[in-house]
Amino acid sequence: MKEAVNPAGAVPPLGPYSHAIRSGSLLFCSGQVPIDPANPGGPVAGDIKAQTRRVLENVKLILQSQQLDFRHVVKSTVFMTNLAEFQGMNEVYAEYFPAPFPARSTVQVAALPRASSVEIEVVAVMS
């Protein structure tokens, strides 16, 4: 069984998908890009740190809608258009995720939706 999760206040999905799917004790969050729910036109202005912060605030909104937080995340995947910006992304990422850190993959891609520089998806376990 699966249940769609589309929290109030989140940017509407950019396509035919749910923000997250809850299945049993797992929450699978779709990749989030740095779109501000208050201004859903395009990515937030600023460098990779500003974009990463907005992405993780979007992830946080989804997690909180299920009474979860970043401690519940067991796996994340980070997509970046420029791995030369990895250090800046990683600095902000470390502000959100407490130890023990989730398993993580980071992949450079040619492009992301809405000309974003970073997209992050997570899997969380409900305890």
**What is the CATH number for 71?**
3.30.1330.40
Q: Note the pLDDT of residue 41.
A: 78
Q: How many separate domains does the chain show?
A: 1
Q: Residue 106, class by beta-carbon neighbours within 10 Å (0-12 exposed, 13-18 middle, 19+ buried)?
A: middle
Classify the phi-psi angles of 115: left when phi > 0, otherwise alpha if psi is within -120 to 50, otherwise beta. left
Q: Note the pLDDT of residue 109.
A: 98
**Residue 66 domain boundaries:** 3-125
Hey, what are 124's tokens? 């969380």
Q: Note the pLDDT of residue 127.
A: 80
Q: Which long-range contacts (CB under 8 A, 24 or more apart) does 37-44 make?
A: 37/9, 37/10, 37/11, 37/61, 40/11, 40/12, 42/114, 42/115, 43/114, 43/115, 43/116, 43/117
Three-class SS of residue 43? strand
Q: How many CB atoms lie within 10 A of CB 93?
A: 23
d(CA 108, CA 58): 21
pLDDT in tens, 109-126: 999 999 999 999 999 999
pLDDT in tens, 28-83: 999 999 999 988 777 898 999 999 999 999 999 999 999 999 999 999 999 999 99
Q: Note the pLDDT of residue 120.
A: 98
Q: How many CB atoms lie within 10 A of CB 11?
A: 18
